[in-house]
């Protein structure tokens, strides 16, 4: 796989560099924050080799790659020049979408940390269950245990780092605030306060006697507040001493507000969430795992599953276990794998069979996107089967009160995290739930999947793409001359820069020969030869205006190679121009290329390139 080429194609089809505000990735998908989602070409993206599918949700435009996502992501980040997350521009989204986007952006980068902790806990659970190590006496157990616990104990520091990238503030100052909440001296003060009953005070300000190890909400609120404090510190600090005053003000003000106000608020919110979970667990423990088991594929499709991930993490940190989010997700993932594998068994098409088997195995191990987008959503009936199997498995999970005691991507590889306070009973019930989910989804998928309907489905997909192409036809406009490609806004003439006669781009030419940017016909040639009008075969009307106010030259230094009515192709010479003499006469040679019938098209998309050669693409016109 040529990952560089794939990355370049993806970037082009999401609207180019200028349309990308932010980019993150999870286990299988690229997660773009685009300025305008409408500029992304879904049909073209879906047809790229290496792309499993495209979806939107949670304020993000998501391109599903599969297990190789990180290779494509690294290339894109380098191309985009992002180091701390992306553009500063704010997008106009509703509060719910922004909240999900924020949670996703903060939690996605630290998933490897949580997964590492969960896998270490799984190894320990297996070693303990089979009595390979003694938890009370073995130093091997103790070392691996504190290694696994480190991820959750220092979770506020990890969250501070990812939150700082999301909120666009200093990463290291944010990590320092996480360290403040976890400092051993502060923990000792809280312990002493609880034992003595005397409150902790900073002057007249009371400090809530809570510890923040393994918490989520307090540090996110703190870093969010810090982003504003740092901004104002930068704004009002004298430049001479800004290097010293900005970090001082940021840490001192934010640290105190965190200890006195934001930390306690976040801590109390976390406790309320935990109490609500306990209430649901006692009154209707079967309900949430059943709902999650059934509808998790739909949440994953839209990316909104990240909105509930913190609840599961918070449950483990506050209660010591999670009986809802992770346990409900487990049978859902297994069911998706079962549904995809059933397609692999039944289909006779080698390409589908290969994808179904590989993505099915990946799904039962905990990563579902390849199966979800590559097979289940594509053929629909496997998706229904996966939802049925996940729902039945989730119901069993809820009725049996299955709990997990560490985080990790729900699947067969992390089943040992279900070994806990009930010995192997909890683990066995989790395994039974997986078996139920797999068998139900496999059988339903095998029965409903019809090889003939696969062809119909694929034909329907092709028809949708064809319809899209018809309704969203794209005409590529080539460069009429070699030079530097710039925005139309750079043209020192309001008629062009304000797009009064149409949208487009401009080139500062370095070559005397101007050529046709389209296949079509010459519709206009001004007497002074300074401007040429063309109409492409698709009906796009293009105006090439060579220089600004060059009409005053009355044709001097211009030599036309065509006449009105001539048929031209891309690269056909149109005009020879003495650029140096025009500049010497005091005229700007910047050349606007304008689509004069822009109103007939939905989008005019200039291609973001600094230098171009004649007949190289510079613009896409979308009907």
Q: Which sequence positions are flagged as catalytic?
A: 26, 545
Collect all residues with Cβ–Cβ distance below 8 Å to 437 and sequence separation of at least 6: 293, 330, 331, 332, 334, 335, 338, 389, 390, 392, 393, 394
H helix or E strand, kind and range, residue 135: none
Report how far residue 538's alpha carbon sits from residue 536's, in angstroms, rounded to the nearest whole number. Answer: 5
Report how far residue 486's alpha carbon sits from residue 506's, in angstroms, rounded to the nearest whole number. Answer: 5
The overall longest dimension of the chain from CA atoms, in Å, is 96
Report how far residue 234's alpha carbon sits from residue 66's, in angstroms, rounded to the nearest whole number. Answer: 42
Report how far residue 6's alpha carbon sits from residue 13's, in angstroms, rounded to the nearest whole number. Answer: 11
* Torsions phi, psi for 137 (to 5 deg): -120, -25
Report how far residue 368's alpha carbon sits from residue 363's, in angstroms, rounded to the nearest whole number. Answer: 4
User: Strands of 558-560's sheet, edge to edge?
Assistant: 513-515, 573-577, 558-560
- Residue 106's nearest CA partner among 22, 35, 210 is 22
Report how far residue 80's alpha carbon sits from residue 59's, in angstroms, rounded to the nearest whole number. Answer: 20
Report how far residue 565's alpha carbon sits from residue 524's, in angstroms, rounded to the nearest whole number. Answer: 8
Collect all residues with Cβ–Cβ distance below 8 Å to 240 and sequence separation of at least 6: none
Plot region of 48 (φ>0 → left; ψ -120 to 50 → alpha; else → beta): beta
Residues in a beta bridge with 521? 535, 567
User: Strands of 20-25's sheet, edge to edge?
Assistant: 20-25, 29-34, 60-64, 53-57
Tokens of 131: 């009595």
- Residue 565's nearest CA partner among 524, 526, 608 is 524
Tokens of 335: 């069911």
Q: Please count the CA atoms within 13 angstroms of the CA of 376 that sit on its side-chain side.
A: 34
Tokens of 29: 């998908």
Residues in a beta bridge with 404? 322
- Residue 553's nearest CA partner among 588, 576, 585 is 585
- Residue 339's nearest CA partner among 416, 252, 406, 439 is 439
Asked whether 307 and 103 are in contact (CB, 8 A), the reply is yes
Report how far residue 135's alpha carbon sits from residue 139's, in angstroms, rounded to the nearest whole number. Answer: 8
H helix or E strand, kind and range, residue 541: strand 541-545
């Amino acid at each position: 796989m040529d990952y560089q080429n794939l990355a370049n194609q993806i970037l082009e089809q999401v609207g180019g560099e200028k349309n990308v505000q932010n980019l993150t990735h999870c286990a299988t998908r690229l997660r773009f924050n685009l300025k305008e989602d409408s500029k992304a070409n879904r049909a073209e993206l879906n047809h790229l080799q290496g792309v499993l599918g495209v979806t939107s949700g949670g304020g993000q435009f998501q391109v599903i790659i599969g297990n190789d996502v990180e290779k494509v992501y690294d290339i894109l980040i380098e191309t985009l020049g992002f180091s701390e997350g992306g553009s500063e521009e704010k997008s106009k989204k509703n509060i719910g979408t922004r909240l999900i986007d924020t949670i996703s952006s903060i939690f996605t980068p630290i998933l490897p940390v949580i997964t590492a902790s969960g896998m270490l806990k799984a190894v320990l659970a297996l070693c303990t269950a089979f009595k390979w190590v003694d938890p009370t006496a073995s130093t091997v157990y103790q070392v691996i245990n504190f290694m696994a616990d480190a991820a959750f104990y220092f979770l506020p520091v990890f969250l501070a780092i990812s939150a700082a990238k999301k909120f666009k503030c200093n990463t290291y100052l944010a990590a320092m605030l996480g360290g403040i909440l976890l400092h051993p001296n502060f923990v000792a003060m809280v312990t002493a306060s609880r034992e003595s009953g005397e409150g902790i005070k900073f002057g007249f300000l009371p400090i809530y006697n809570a510890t923040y190890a393994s918490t989520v909400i307090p540090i996110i609120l703190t870093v969010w507040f810090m982003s504003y404090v740092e901004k104002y510190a930068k704004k009002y600090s004298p430049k001479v001493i800004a290097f010293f005053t900005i970090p001082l003000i940021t840490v001192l003000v934010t640290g105190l507000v965190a200890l006195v106000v934001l930390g306690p608020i976040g801590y109390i919110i976390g406790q309320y969430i935990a109490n609500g979970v306990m209430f649901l667990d006692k009154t209707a423990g079967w309900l949430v795992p059943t709902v999650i088991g059934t509808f998790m594929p739909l949440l994953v499709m839209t990316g909104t599953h990240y909105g509930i991930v913190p609840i599961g993490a918070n449950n483990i940190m506050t209660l010591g276990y999670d009986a809802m989010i992770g346990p409900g997700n487990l049978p859902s993932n297994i069911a998706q794998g079962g549904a995809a594998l059933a397609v692999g068994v039944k289909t006779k098409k080698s390409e589908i069979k290969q994808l179904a088997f590989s993505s099915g195995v990946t799904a039962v191990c905990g990563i579902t996107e390849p199966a979800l987008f590559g097979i289940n959503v594509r053929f629909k009936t496997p998706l229904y089967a996966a939802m049925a199997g996940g729902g039945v498995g989730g119901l069993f999970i809820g009725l049996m009160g299955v709990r997990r005691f560490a985080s990790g991507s729900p699947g067969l590889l992390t089943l040992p995290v279900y070994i806990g306070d009930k010995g192997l009973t909890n683990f066995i019930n989790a395994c039974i739930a997986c078996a139920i989910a797999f068998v139900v989804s496999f059988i339903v998928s095998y029965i409903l999947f019809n090889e003939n309907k696969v062809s119909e489905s694929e034909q329907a997909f092709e028809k949708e793409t064809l319809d899209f192409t018809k309704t969203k036809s794209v005409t590529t406009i080539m460069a009429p001359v070699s030079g530097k490609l710039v925005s139309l806004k750079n043209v020192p003439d309001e008629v062009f820069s304000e797009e009064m006669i149409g949208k487009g781009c401009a080139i500062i030419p370095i070559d005397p020969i101007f050529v046709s940017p389209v296949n079509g016909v010459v519709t206009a040639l001004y007497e002074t030869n300074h401007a040429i009008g063309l109409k492409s075969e698709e009906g796009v009307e293009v105006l090439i205006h060579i220089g600004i106010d060059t009409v005053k030259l009355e044709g001097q230094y211009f030599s036309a190679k065509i006449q009105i009515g001539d048929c031209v192709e891309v690269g056909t010479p149109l005009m020879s121009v003495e650029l140096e003499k025009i500049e010497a006469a005091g005229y700007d040679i910047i050349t606007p290329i304008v689509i004069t019938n822009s109103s007939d098209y939905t989008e005019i998309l200039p291609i973001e390139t600094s230098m171009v050669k004649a007949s190289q693409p510079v613009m896409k016109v979308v009907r």
